[in-house]
């Protein structure tokens, strides 16, 4: 009799323990976003090759353009470095924003995306966490670029405050630009197609700009296109802060463009995210 009752008592005890225990609270938007951000950091930890684009890429670009074109454009590499470093900094960070969409596209193709959609969490936290980690990546790239610049002889007249303000404006624009790639990351069928479209957009934006040369040296018909290019406005804003003469008009335009990008592509990304 006791042997028959023992399993029943164990079942009742288990049922009682489960029924009386408090249900864990659902993660809030902040904690969920930080958790997904931690997931992205773990991916970097176990696959450190992902940092190649924010370490070797800035170094190669700065050294290559400074020492290949410095003498021809500015007469000396030292003088050209003062002009080109803010531009190459913008170029580097803007180019690596595409990886936000690539990571999202990889999650979709591997099926992880479907698992995340079933979790009882704030759905945008998956994207917000990834974007927060990307801000860390952009900050690391900026720190590497500026440190190398100081070693080579870059001396910003705006001082530490000017450098920090310039990087802050750059991060705001990069964050807003990343929303375009999250939208495309959901729409595109493969990583290669997404990268191809990203390059088609980023190459004209970054190279038809004032990153490497003054627009006054360009053909007359090309100058207006360069001057209204958002990347050119960003470069002027960053150069202004680092040079000690803040270009407030360009800063205002950059912030306006950043606001419009988030206003358009963040809701569009979330709509596609829910409908995928």
Mean pLDDT score, 56-71: 85
Q: What is the pLDDT of residue 16?
A: 65
Q: Cβ of 54: how many Cβ atoms within 10 Å?
A: 24
Q: What average pLDDT does this structure show over 95-112? A: 84
Question: How far is Cα 43 from Cα 91, in angstroms, rounded to an integer?
Answer: 25
Cα–Cα dist 167/68, whole Å: 25
Whole-number Å distance between alpha carbons of 32 and 100 = 18
Instruction: Please tell me the predicted confidence (pLDDT) of residue 1.
Output: 46
User: Contact 259/175 with Cβ under 8 angstroms?
Assistant: no
- Is residue 193's pLDDT more than 70? yes
Provide the percentage of residues in the chain whose pLDDT is more than 90. Answer: 32
- Lowest model confidence (mean pLDDT) among 50-64, 129-143, 206-220: 50-64
Per-residue pLDDT for 170 more than 90? yes
Mean of the pLDDT values across residues 237-253? Answer: 91
pTM: 0.84
* Spatial CA neighbour of 198 closest among 209, 210, 182: 182
Which has more pLDDT, 189 or 93? Answer: 93
Q: Which two tokens mark 169? A: 């404006």
Q: Tokens for 195?
A: 């990268």
């Amino acid at each position: 009799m006791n042997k028959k009752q023992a399993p029943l008592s164990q079942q009742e005890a288990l049922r009682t323990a489960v029924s009386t225990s408090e249900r864990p609270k659902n993660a809030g938007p902040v904690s969920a976003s930080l958790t997904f951000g931690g997931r992205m950091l773990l991916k970097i930890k176990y696959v450190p090759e992902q940092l190649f684009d924010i370490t070797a890429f800035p170094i190669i670009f700065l050294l290559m353009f400074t020492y290949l074109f410095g003498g021809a454009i500015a007469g000396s590499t030292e003088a050209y470095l003062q002009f080109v470093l803010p531009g190459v900094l913008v170029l580097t960070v803007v180019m690596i924003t595409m990886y936000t969409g690539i990571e999202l596209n990889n999650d979709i193709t591997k099926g992880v995306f479907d698992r995340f959609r079933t979790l009882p969490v704030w759905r945008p936290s998956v994207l917000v966490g990834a974007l927060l980690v990307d801000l860390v990546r952009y900050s690391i790239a900026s720190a590497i670029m500026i440190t190398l610049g100081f070693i080579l002889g870059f001396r910003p007249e705006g001082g530490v405050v000017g450098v920090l303000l310039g990087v802050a404006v750059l991060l705001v624009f990069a964050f807003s630009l990343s929303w375009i790639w999250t939208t495309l990351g959901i729409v595109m069928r493969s990583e290669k197609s997404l990268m191809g479209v990203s390059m088609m957009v980023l190459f004209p934006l970054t190279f038809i700009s004032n990153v490497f040369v003054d627009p006054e040296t360009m053909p007359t018909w090309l100058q207006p296109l360069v001057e209204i290019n958002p990347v050119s406005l960003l470069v002027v804003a960053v150069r202004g802060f680092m040079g000690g003469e803040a270009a407030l008009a360009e800063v205002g335009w950059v912030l306006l463009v950043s606001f419009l990008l988030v206003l358009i592509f963040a809701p569009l990304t979330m709509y596609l995210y829910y409908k995928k």
